[in-house]
């Protein structure tokens, strides 16, 4: 029986449907893995946390994307002047690729297999073998070669994560958490994407859980994740990471047009906003997703302080959004008088101040929580 027929029989309605789970409205789509088990595709904001939570869910541990993001200490800020992308320095709003999966897996417990490959053929053969055992596989890929993406989002970036569900005729059925439904990917594309060269080479990285801990100590994991995040944001003694990084960048932005000239300043500012909004962040450079995590943690611990912090994080996220809007206007050269680089940088400074306050409070609150 062809794969399409199986789909028709099992899942007559292929369009995403809205279901309500624990009071949350989620966009989901039903799929089927090579083992014949149903797989539920969840629309996620970020690729790595989306993939990780889907892998856990597939093994029977129901866990949401923000929870993985928080436990894996995903939120961060770093300005990397020496890592250039299309000639522009990168400002990142998240920790390094791979860290969310690594940390979440360690803190939640379970048996995971991670593999790198030098030889593309061996890498693909091993992936097929694992798929045939009915397992779904997480992959790290280069986003440029994934042709199912709109052209405008395709650029040479080696840190995109996807899940392969099963093999189909000359390709694979792929669940990309950033998209709202599963898609097909050609074999040739996938080989190129997995074995792309350049900075942060994926080297055919693939990972999957063999078994997961079905009763993880969520409370301890959450506390560890929060404290780790606070340390990363507050205690790295370098001016380009964490809160110091935001301040450093904000001060640069204020004098951007004088130091770089208007054209170049616009390119750099545009880059910051792109990293904040475009690269699958759930809005405001992951700040909303972290607020969602804090909210879930507040329910878990029954802590009103965490709930308060979640609301504060949402407010900070709103300022980040405003920063994006102001930046876009600065570049558009509209409203010449009010919207300047100084205003954009000023908004970022406000973010830095409030985030510093928030993470200091979070460190105290998390330290007092009982696991």
Partner 1 sequence: MKVNEVPQDNTLKYYEGIKRACYAINDEGKYVIVASNGWNAEEFINGLAVHELAVNLEKTRKAVFEGVKSPLAYHMERRQMIPDILGKTAGIAAFRVKRHCRPEIFAKLKDSVLDRYADALAITREELKTVPQK
Smaller CB distance to partner 1: residue 41 or 79? Answer: 41
Min dist CB 293 to partner 1, Å, is 9
Over the window 263 to 282, marking each residue x when it contacts partner 1 by CB under 8 A and - when it does not, the resulting string is ---xx--xx-xx--xx-x-x
Q: Which residues contact 160 (CB under 8 A, 6 or more apart)?
A: 47, 140, 141, 142, 143, 146, 193
Planar angle of CA 342, 229, 73, nearest 5 degrees: 110
Min dist CB 270 to partner 1, Å, is 5
Residue 222 tokens read as 């959450």
317 binding partner 1? (CB under 8 A): yes
Smaller CB distance to partner 1: residue 299 or 357? Answer: 299
345 binding partner 1? (CB under 8 A): no
Residue 227 tokens read as 């404290």
Q: Are residues 155 and 90 in contact, defined by beta-carbon separation less than 8 angstroms? A: no
Q: Which of 91, 178, 87 is nearest to 141 (CA)?
A: 178
302 binding partner 1? (CB under 8 A): no
324 binding partner 1? (CB under 8 A): yes
**Alpha helices per DSSP H over the chain:** 3-10, 47-58, 65-71, 99-108, 120-132, 187-194, 218-234, 242-254, 256-260, 262-273, 287-301, 304-332, 341-368
Q: Give the Cα separation of 196 and 201 in Å (integer).
A: 7
Min dist CB 88 to partner 1, Å, is 9
Residue 162 tokens read as 């996807």
Stretch that binds partner 1, among 128-136, 235-243, 315-323, 342-350 (CB under 8 A): 315-323
174 binding partner 1? (CB under 8 A): no
192 binding partner 1? (CB under 8 A): yes
For the CA atoms of 24, 28, 34, 35, the dihedral, rounded to the nearest 10 degrees, stands at 30
Smaller CB distance to partner 1: residue 198 or 367? Answer: 198
- Chain positions 28 to 57 lying near partner 1, rule: CB under 8 A, are 43-45
CA 52 to chain centre: 10
List residues near partner 1 by CB under 8 A.
23-27, 43-45, 65-66, 86, 144, 149-150, 152-156, 178-180, 188, 192, 196-198, 266-267, 270-271, 273-274, 277-278, 280, 282-284, 288-289, 291-292, 295-296, 314, 317-318, 321, 324-325, 327-328, 331-332
């Amino acid at each position: 029986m062809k794969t399409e027929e199986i789909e028709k029989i099992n899942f007559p309605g292929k369009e995403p449907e809205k279901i309500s789970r624990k009071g949350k409205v989620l966009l989901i789509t039903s799929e089927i893995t090579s083992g014949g088990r149903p797989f539920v595709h969840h629309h996620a904001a970020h690729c790595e946390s989306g993939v990780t939570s889907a892998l856990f869910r597939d093994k029977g541990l129901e866990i949401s994307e923000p929870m993985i993001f928080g436990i894996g200490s995903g939120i961060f800020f770093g300005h990397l002047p020496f890592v250039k992308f299309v000639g522009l320095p990168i400002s990142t709003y998240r920790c390094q690729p791979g860290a969310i999966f690594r940390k979440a897996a360690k803190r939640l417990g379970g048996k995971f297999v991670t593999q790198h490959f030098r030889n593309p053929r061996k890498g693909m053969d091993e992936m097929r073998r694992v798929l045939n055992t009915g397992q779904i596989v997480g992959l790290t890929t280069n986003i440029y070669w994934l042709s199912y993406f709109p052209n405008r989002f395709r650029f040479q970036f080696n840190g995109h994560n996807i899940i392969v569900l099963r093999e189909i005729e000359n390709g694979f059925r792929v669940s990309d958490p950033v998209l709202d439904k599963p898609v097909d990917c050609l074999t040739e594309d996938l080989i190129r994407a997995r074995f792309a060269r350049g900075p942060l080479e994926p080297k055919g990285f693939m990972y999957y859980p063999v078994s997961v801990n079905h009763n993880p100590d969520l409370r301890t994991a959450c506390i560890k994740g929060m404290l780790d995040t606070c340390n990363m944001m507050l205690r790295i003694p370098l001016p380009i990471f964490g809160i110091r990084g935001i301040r450093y960048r904000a001060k640069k932005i204020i004098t951007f047009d004088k130091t770089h000239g208007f054209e170049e300043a616009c390119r750099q500012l545009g880059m910051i906003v792109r990293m904040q909004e475009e690269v699958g962040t759930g809005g405001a450079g992951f700040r909303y997703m972290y607020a969602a995590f804090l909210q879930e943690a507040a329910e878990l611990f029954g802590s009103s302080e965490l709930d308060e912090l979640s609301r504060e994080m949402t407010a900070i996220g709103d300022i980040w959004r405003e920063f994006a809007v102001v930046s876009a206007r600065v570049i558009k050269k509209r409203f010449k008088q009010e919207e300047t680089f100084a205003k954009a940088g000023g908004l970022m400074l406000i973010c830095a101040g409030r985030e510093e306050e928030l993470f200091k409070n979070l460190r105290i609150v998390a330290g007092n929580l009982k696991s």
